[in-house]
Amino acid sequence: MTRGQASGKWDDLESLFSAVEERIGLKLRERDKVLLAKHTKQVLEQECVSLDRYIQELRRNISIYSSDKWIAIEELITTKETYFFRDLGQLRGIEDIVFPQLFCPSQSLKEIKVLSAGCASGEELYSLCMLMAEYKQVSWIGLQRVSGIGLDISRVAIEIAKQGMYKERSFRGIDNRFKLLREKYFDRYISKNKAVIYKIKPLFLGQTKFYECNILNYPYSMVSSGTVDLIVCRNVFIYFNEVSIRRCLDAFHSLLRPRGFLVVGHAELKGYEREYFNVIMHRDTLIYQKR
């Protein structure tokens, strides 16, 4: 195939968008489609591959591109904007409603397991684990272990999460309470270019595991059904269509222990949750509990 033939017929973009949505479960926005079309055309010309062949490979869930030339579709169209202790209202709801039940002595749970679905670069999961560690101390419960699992479709984001190293921007807007937690759970460094870097302390880093994973591809190999106490999946469903949302809720319902908890972004479920969960009202948010 010559370079002039590489892109082949370039008027079948709807088939491209459909194949991408099927592969990764995301509902493409107009801006996503523009980015995807531009990038795909450029790469297919470099690789001398036709659009028709690429669509076939997408539907078979195979990548035919060398990693140095192809930015994963997931990296291109997903947003990885996050920071520590984001959305204080939801965090207050988790502290007020979820923690007292999980850490209740009558529960007799030896391990509290938290899953962050769509964890991006890890700030959310680390934040929850820190708050749980603090709650254990003030509520005199010291026998239970807290472990966290983070899943995200972005390989780049997962590598950042595994390293546990963050710049000042990841702590924007935090108040004095959370600054104290940063001092307690992070070591502070100055990089070669004089930037301030915060690295999760080794003992705390060992409580969390991060995996590259499309959360629609359940079951997951790294976590068993019926073992998770709290799932947080915020600002993920905004990318999903109805079919993908229901697939995720099926998976989450299976993963949770009886009476386990789910927290999602505000107004993301649009009524789907009532088939799976009881809704607990909090002044700042909604908490969903497995029936």
Residue 269's identity, in one-letter code, is L
More confident residue, 143 or 97: 97
pLDDT above 90: residue 276: no
Select from 63, 7, 81 the least CA-distant residue to 38.
Answer: 7
DSSP characters for 243-279?
HHHHHHHHHHHHHEEEEEEEEESTT-STTGGGGTEEE
pLDDT tens track for 204-234: 888 899 999 889 889 999 999 999 999 999 9
More confident residue, 214 or 66: 214
Mean pLDDT of 43-53: 78
Contacts of 206 (CB under 8 A, 6+ apart): none
Segments of the chain assigned to CATH 3.40.50.150: 88-164+203-290
Question: Given this model, what pLDDT does residue 142 score?
Answer: 54
More confident residue, 7 or 82: 82
Sign of the Cα pseudo-torsion (135, 141, 142, 144, in order): negative
Residues 178, 191: contact at Cβ < 8 Å? Answer: no
pLDDT above 70 covers a percentage of the chain that reads 84
DSSP three-state, residue 222: coil
H-run or E-run covering 136: helix 123-138
Question: What whole-number distance in Å separates Cα of residue 284 and Cα of residue 92?
Answer: 7
Which class would CATH give 88-164+203-290? alpha beta
Looking at residue 191, the DSSP 8-state letter turns out to be -
Question: Given this model, what pLDDT does residue 107 score?
Answer: 67
pLDDT above 70: residue 79: no
Least confidently predicted of 58-72, 221-235, 246-260, 269-283: 58-72
Select from 123, 46, 62, 61 the least CA-distant residue to 91.
Answer: 123
CA atoms within 13 A on the CB side of 119: 33
pLDDT tens track for 126-184: 999 999 989 987 665 555 788 999 999 888 899 999 999 999 999 998 999 999 999 99
More confident residue, 85 or 271: 85
Under the phi-then-psi rule, with left for phi > 0, alpha for psi from -120 to 50, and beta for the rest, what region is 87? left
Question: What whole-number distance in Å separates Cα of residue 159 and Cα of residue 112?
Answer: 24
pLDDT above 90: residue 275: no
pLDDT above 80: residue 27: no
Question: Given this model, what pLDDT does residue 78 score?
Answer: 61
Mean pLDDT of 278-289: 93
Select from 171, 236, 124 the least CA-distant residue to 132.
Answer: 124
pTM: 0.80
Categorize the per-residue pLDDT at 64 as very low, low, confident or very high, splitting at 50, 70 and 90. very low
